[in-house]
Structure formats: C-alpha cells, structure tokens
Amino acid sequence: MKKFLGYILSPFAIIAFFLALLIFHPIQWLCFRFFGYTAHKRAVDLLNLCLLSTAYIVGNSVTFINKQNLPTDRPIIFLANHQSLFDIPPLIWYLRKYHAKFISKVELTKGIPSISYNLKHGGGANIDRKDSRQSIAEIVKLANRMKENNWSAVIFPEGTRSKNGEVKAFQVGGIATILKKCPNALLVPIAIKDSWKMIRYGLYPLNTFTPMTWEVLAPIEPGQTPYEDLVLEAENKIRAALA
C-alpha cells in the first residue's frame, strides 16, 4: 500500500524538490554576489528547510534530536552514518548555527541547480576521488577555514551510502587530516535512522509514511587519543544508537 501511494504522491514531492532548487539558485547568486557569505548561508539554510519539507508531501516525517549542549566557539567534526541523499538537508538546516560544511565529490560542482553553486561557494571541500593529492589539499583548506572561523564539518566516514541501513566500517583518513590542523575540534556522532527507506524503491516511487530520525549523540573530546580509536568510538556510538 505504501508503495502504491508512492506512485501517486512522489511526483508532487519530486516537483517541489526540484522547484526549490531552481528558485534558490538565482537567490544564492544574488546573495553571494552582492551581500557575501552570511546572506548566502541564510539562503542555503532556507533552501534546505524547503528540501527537507518535501518529505512530508509523501507522508514521511523528519525528527531531529539534539540534547547536547554543543559549543559554537570551536570547530566541530560531525560524523554520521550515510543512508541516502536525503540525509543532507536536515543536517544543514538543524546544524545551521555551527556552519557545518561538507566534503563532496567534485563531480557535484557542475550541472545541479543550487547544489553545485553552494558546493563551489559555500566553503566546503570538493574532492577528486581519483586524485589523492588534490583530495588531501582540499580537506586541508577546509580544516584551515574551520580553524579560522570556528566552522564545523559533516563527514560520512563510511565513504558511500548504505542501501539497507546497515552501518559500514568507518574510514579515518579525512577525519585525521582535519584533526591534524584542528586538534581542538570536537567530534560529535550523529545517528541517522531509516532515511534509506524513503528511497528503498529508488527515486520513483518514493516510499511513503516513513518516520526518519537524526539524533546527535554525546560528543567525544579528541585529547591525545589515536585517530583510529576516536573514529571507532564514534562508529560504536552510532551502532548502539541504531540497535
């Protein structure tokens, strides 16, 4: 029944999603060109509020739980499991006061309304997975911006999306690179639950009436702990939260 309803409701959600991308593309351009970073960021935040709201068109729900008293005067590395492209809009909207930046594939910087423009000008890192030197250099630049501005980063350490919700082993590389430049960055795990179910049948039909949850877990102070142990601790926290 839920799949059947998806055939009926999905076109409305998909149209609303892409309409938001088209509308906010020139808004982003105007904000960045004439008013700078702060105005551009507000436009991006509002765009992602609109994007996450499209889930409600198909009866899905977004619950973001953050009971942690996180600082805004130091960099934060948010580590989250990755289940779908829909993971991102709630993270951008609900973490907006932390200026969270993403590490993205360089291919995404071309051809996608709003998204490509934000990736080029929003302050994140756009990496070429075939060029390790370029990837490291981009992440180092991001780490420097985090250090200078007390910005944060969102990293999906699994490296790729999980199609069934099972958490894959976390990779250390990008996190270690940032911590070398920002040793005082706080590590904060985020457990994403059931966003994969929204696209269990692909982009059409979207699954319907599915509750999805994002939960911010207790932070981890890096201290002198080896990077591998820090990342494993974050991974275990997320696995426990999803169990």
Closest-CA residue to 117 (of 129, 130, 104): 104
Mean pLDDT of 57-77: 96
Beta-strand relationship, 211-216 and 186-193:
antiparallel
**Tens digits of residue pLDDT in 73-93:** 999 999 999 999 899 999 999
Q: Please report which confidence band the pLDDT of residue 4 belongs to, taking 50, 70 and 90 as the band edges.
A: confident
Mean pLDDT of 177-196: 96
The parent domain of residue 56 ranges over 2-242
Q: Please report which confidence band the pLDDT of residue 61 belongs to, taking 50, 70 and 90 as the band edges.
A: very high
- pLDDT, the chain, mean: 95
The predicted pLDDT at position 117 comes to: 97
Question: How many percent of the chain have pLDDT more than 70?
Answer: 100
Q: d(Cα 223, Cα 103) in Å, to the nearest integer?
A: 24
Which residue has tokens 């420097």? Answer: 144
Mean pLDDT of 5-26: 97
Closest-CA residue to 70 (of 184, 175, 218): 218
Q: What is the 3-state secondary structure (H, E, C) of the chain?
A: CHHHHHHHHHHHHHHHHHHHHHHHHHHHHHHHHHHCHHHHHHHHHHHHHHHHHHHHHHCCEEEEEECCCCCCCCCEEEEECCCCHHHHHHHHHHCHHHCEEEEEEHHHHCCCCCHHHHHHHCCCEEECCCCHHHHHHHHHHHHHHHHHHCCEEEECCCCCCCCCCCCCCCCCHHHHHHHHHCCCCEEEEEEEECHHHHHCCCCCCCCCCCEEEEEECCCECCCCCCHHHHHHHHHHHHHHHHC
Closest-CA residue to 219 (of 241, 203, 240, 234): 234
Q: Total structural domains in the chain?
A: 1
Mean pLDDT of 151-155: 97
Report whether pLDDT(109) > 90: yes
The predicted pLDDT at position 22 comes to: 98
The predicted pLDDT at position 151 comes to: 97
β-partners of residue 165 are none
CATH code of the domain covering residue 191? 3.40.1130
Which residue has tokens 């700078």? Answer: 36
